[in-house]
Amino acid sequence: MKAQGIDNVRPLLPEILQKRDRVLVAPAPWRRGDDRLLPYYDSVRQLSRQMDEFTLAVETNDLPAARAALKELLSQINQAYGLSL
């Protein structure tokens, strides 16, 4: 983000948010009742919240908040992905 600037990220947000929405409505990787579902859903919820934080930071030109949100977002992506395996 530093090399490209926050203004170059802004046009990508609608597509990124659409992809996030597709994750939210995708079928769970396990059947109902599986013990892995709750941690997975919690992780996806947190990932969605973090994406919202990142979007708001970008839209308000708050570069420090955008950087912090992006760092946390990457962590949340890795956590959700790890839980889905």
- Comparing CA positions, the residue from 36, 39, 67 lying closest to residue 53 is 67
Q: What pTM does this model have?
A: 0.82
Residue 52 has pLDDT above 90, yes or no: yes
Round to whole Å and give the CA distance between 80 and 46.
Answer: 9
Per-residue pLDDT tens digits for 58-83: 999 999 999 999 999 888 888 888 88
Euclidean distance between CA atoms 20 and 77, whole angstroms = 11
Nearest to 43 by CA among 79, 19, 70, 82: 79
Distance from C-alpha of 51 to C-alpha of 11, rounded to nearest angstrom? 15
The domain spans of the chain are 6-24+36-84
Average of per-residue pLDDT across 30-38:
91
Q: What is the widest separation between alpha-carbon atoms in the chain?
A: 46
Instruction: For residue 5, name the pLDDT band (cuts at 50, 70, 90).
Output: confident
Instruction: Please report which confidence band the pLDDT of residue 2 belongs to, taking 50, 70 and 90 as the band edges.
Output: low
